[in-house]
A and B are shown apart, each in its own frame.
Chain A
Amino acid sequence: MAKRVLMSGNIAAAEGAILAGCHAFFGYPITPQNDLLEHMSRRLPPLGRIFVQTESELSAINMVLGASAAGFRAMTSTSGPGFSLQQEGISYMAGMELPAVIVDVMRAGPGLGSIGGAQGDYFQATKGGGHGDYRVLTLAPASAQEMMDLTMLAFELADKYRNPVVVLADGFLGQAMEPVAMREPVAELPGKPWAITGARGRPKNVLNSLELEPADLEPRMQALVQKFEMMRQNEVRYESLDLDDASMAIVAYGSASRSAMTAVHMARQEGLRVGLLRPISLFPFPYQALSDLAQRVDDFLVAELSFGQLVEDVRWAVGPNHRVELVNRLAGVRLSAEEILEAIRKMAR
């Protein structure tokens, strides 16, 4: 049996990255992701790997870009304001088809907001976020275990699709201490013949996103579109709980889904037929799973730590013939299982 170790979600993500062969970490302090960065500063150099505390998140993402271009697994971690600064670099990497992992440990509010956990970066992480036509794969862990596992998966998918992958966590998940079953280190990393390794015995490699002629850029962008379509077909991930006989489904991801799970158990004890659909991939979003569910479930309750972002995707998936309600808290305030239960009761009446 795998060794179980008690650790915070942030540390679990860091350890997952190390297991996945992440060679370089570049980051800038911001709460609530600081312990991830600090952990990397202790762990990476003794392994002969690279840690740099940069002057900004801009610099961090562009160092990730360089390291990735050189063929290495590289990552950064940040939170809200820093994630905003990194959008340009993420867009460049999507355009240049460079893998990268970005862990966004979400905090609250627009602006400086608060350092409490929240999920307000949902649109930014799932709809593109930066300029131009692109998508990033977005994975939403809901436990310290998944902070590790999905960070490892993020590196795998980033290489598979040559595209940035965002691990969308939040302050609650990042800080919470939970037992984590340690995984085996990734033994073999994929070859990267496209990387910048010095033009020795091969024609030069150029990594760019620019084409001066629109007619030259369009086929490249069409290829990207096809790639995003492949992600939609192959990379949808979600978890179902108690949905077999349910007449009401809660939809929640990340730490909101933890409260939702408890609420489902409490509601079941009251005889309410409630289940949970927890998206694990936010892009691609489990639209099909939800629209299938809508064939047999009447009501949907969306629990999120943002002002109504996830709920838009759920409404889109289930169509106009279903009740879709929102239960949420903002600003870094916890959404309790009791509050969700109350919303379930209200909707069931």
Chain B
Amino acid sequence: MAQTKAAKSDTILFAAPQSLEDVPLHYCPGCGHGIVHRLIAEVVDKLGIADRTVCVASVGCSAINYLYFKFDGLESSHGRAPASASGIKRCRPDLIPFTYQGDGDLAAIGTAEIVHACARGENITVFFINNAIYGMTGGQMAPTTLVGMHSTSTPGGRNPALAGYPIKVCEMLSTLEGPAYIARVSIYNPAQVRRAKQAIELAFRTQLAGLGLALVEVLSPCPVGWGVEPVQAMDWLVEHMLPQYPLGEYKVTEAVQALKEVKGHA
């Protein structure tokens, strides 16, 4: 008995990913950003690409996320991360830049940059964190804010007559020929977290294989912006965001499909 016990305590079953810095994250309790950071770090570790990976941050709550990864990091101006990541990748095809962008960053101010990075099929990876709100600036309406949803700039709820309709990024971008892989995932329960990780891995492998732009949209909770408790935020996401933003793969080119089928892909 005693022997089994000793063996057990020697076996590490769960540890922080190598690529994640051992520092406290600044996000609010229940925020989705931390989960997605961890998944990215786990995948980078698994693929063994930390010494080539570059985090191109955006402007939003995750603006300083390069402080949380052990690989190289670059700041970018609001919305322009895909352009800066493309600038890196064009000059250094061996590096693995990914952008990490909120919905305000990617789908409002940075719409032109993401559309054209997709159209050109830039060989970069894009993580798009859709929390249906502007977290950083205090919970104003985002381009992805749901119809009727309250925000600090849509006091009576988003009224389409005044503020238009939410943008469905995956649906829109998958009409383009350039991107290789586009998927929407979420992190509202452990099974979904596992699926999200698979999509993140495939997105990186798409870039590693030189197949073109891969974008993973992650439906992610912002309890503070939504004005709900962290646990309820997951329910809120399922109830309100899923119907508007169905999960799934929106674009998988044949080459990416072939990658998926390579044995060993989790």
* Interface presence of A266 (CB below 8 A): no
**Is there an interface contact between B87 and A64, defined as CB atoms closer than 8 Å?**
yes
A92 to B75, CA, bound (A): 9
**Alpha-carbon distance A70/B94, docked complex (angstroms):** 11
Beta-carbon contacts of B67-86 to A below 8 Å, as 1s and 0s? 10111111111001001111
Interface residues of A in 47-90 (CB under 8 A from B): 50, 52, 54-56, 58-60, 62-72, 74, 88-89
B residues near A89, Cβ cutoff 8 Å: 77, 80
Knowing A58-B83, A66-B87, A69-B84, the reply to whether A209 touches B75 (Cβ < 8 A) is yes
Asked if residues A59 and B90 are in contact (CB atoms below 8 Å), the reply is: no
User: How far in angstroms is the closest Cβ of chain A from B23?
Assistant: 13
- Do A58 and B112 touch (CB < 8 A)? yes
What are the interface flags for B44-71 relative to A under an 8 Å C-beta threshold, 1 for contact and 0 otherwise? 0000001111101100000110110111
Q: How many A-B residue pairs have CB under 8 A?
A: 135
Q: With a 10 A CB-CB cut-off, give which of A56, A66, A196 has the most chain B CB atoms.
A: A66
* With A199-B70, A204-B72: A69-B88 Cβ-Cβ less than 8 Å: yes
**B84-99 vs A: 1/0 string, CB under 8 Å?**
1111111110110100
Residues of A89-109 at the interface with B, using a CB-CB cut-off of 8 Å, are 89, 92, 96
Q: Are B67 and A206 in contact (CB under 8 A)?
A: yes
A198 adjacent to chain B (CB < 8 Å) = yes
With A59-B112, A88-B77, A208-B75: A66-B88 Cβ-Cβ less than 8 Å: yes
Across-interface contacts of B56 in A (CB, < 8 A): 66
The reply to whether B95 and A196 form a contact with Cβ atoms under 8 Å apart is yes
Asked whether A23 and B80 contact (CB < 8 A) given A59-B113, A196-B54, A206-B73, the answer is no
The verdict on A54 contacting B116 (CB below 8 Å), with A199-B72, A212-B64 known, is yes
Give A59 to B71 CA distance when docked, in angstroms: 25
Decide: A197 near B92, CB < 8 A? Known: A62-B113, A204-B70, A206-B67: yes
Which residues from A are CB-within-8-Å of B53? 198
Cβ-based interface call for A124 (8 A): no
Whole-angstrom CA separation of A72 from B90 in the bound complex: 11
Number of contacting residues on A, CB 8 A?
A: 41
Q: Is the CB of A206 within 8 A of B116?
A: no
Shortest CB–CB separation between residue A48 and chain B, in angstroms? 11
With a CB–CB cut-off of 8 A, which chain B residues contact A347? none
Q: A62-B83, A69-B88, A210-B63 are in contact. Are A199 and B50 (CB under 8 A)?
A: yes
- Chain A residues in 8 Å Cβ range of B71: 198-199, 204
For residue A24, which residue of chain B has the nearest CB? B91
Residue of A nearest to B84 (CB): A66
Cα distance A339–B74 in the bound complex, in angstroms? 51
| Residue of A with least CB distance to B50 | A199
| A65 CB to nearest chain B CB (Å) | 5
Residue of A nearest to B67 (CB): A206
> How many whole Å from B93's CB to the nearest CB in chain A?
10
The reply to whether the CB of A348 lies closer than 8 angstroms to some CB of chain B is: no
Cross-chain contact B64 with A210 (CB below 8 angstroms): yes
CA distance A208 to B80 in the complex (A): 14
A70 with B95, Cβ < 8 A, contacts A92-B75, A196-B88, A212-B64 known: yes
Contact for B87 among A63, A92, A96, A209, CB less than 8 A: A63
Whether a CB of chain B sits under 8 angstroms from the CB of A288 is no
A96 vs B84: C-alpha distance in the bound complex, in angstroms?
13
CA distance A161 to B64 in the complex (A): 25
Query: Which residues of chain A have C-beta atoms less than 8 A from B70's C-beta?
Result: 199, 204
A76 shortest CB reach to chain B, Å:
11
**A208, B73: Cβ atoms under 8 Å?**
yes
A327 to B177, CA, bound (A): 55
B66 touches A206 (CB 8 A): yes
Query: Could you tell me if A62 and B66 are in contact, using CB atoms closer than 8 angstroms?
Result: no
C-alpha gap A72/B83 in the complex (Å): 15
Query: Contact flags (1/0) for A195-221 with B, using CB distance below 8 Å?
Result: 011111100111111101000000000
The verdict on A26 contacting chain B, using a C-beta distance below 8 Å, is: yes
Q: Given contacts A55-B116, A198-B52, A199-B51, are A62 and B80 in contact (CB under 8 A)?
A: yes
Docked CA distance A198–B115 (Å): 27
Complex-state Cα separation, A314 to B247, whole angstroms: 64
**Contact between chains at B74 and A66 (CB < 8 Å):** yes
* A47 shortest CB reach to chain B, Å: 13
* A contact residues around B69 at 8 Å (CB): 204
Given contacts A65-B84, A70-B88, contact A58 B113 (CB under 8 A): yes
Distance (Å) between the CB of B2 and the closest chain A CB? 43
Residues of B within 8 A of A54 (CB): 83, 116
B95 engages A197 (CB within 8 Å)? yes
Q: Are B66 and A69 in contact (CB under 8 A)?
A: no
- A200 CA to B88 CA, complexed, in Å: 17
> Beyond the given A62-B83, A66-B56, could you list 12 further A-B residue pairs with CB under 8 A, ordered by the A residue number?
A23-B91, A62-B80, A62-B113, A63-B83, A65-B83, A66-B87, A66-B88, A67-B88, A70-B91, A74-B87, A198-B94, A210-B63
Can you spell out 11 A-B residue pairs with CB atoms less than 8 angstroms apart? Answer: A55-B112, A62-B76, A65-B87, A66-B74, A67-B87, A69-B88, A74-B87, A197-B92, A198-B72, A204-B70, A212-B64
The 9 closest A-B pairs by CB, nearest first: A66-B87, A66-B84, A208-B75, A63-B87, A62-B83, A62-B80, A200-B51, A55-B116, A67-B87
Residues of A within 8 A of B (CB): 23-24, 26, 50, 52, 54-56, 58-60, 62-72, 74, 88-89, 92, 96, 196-201, 204-210, 212
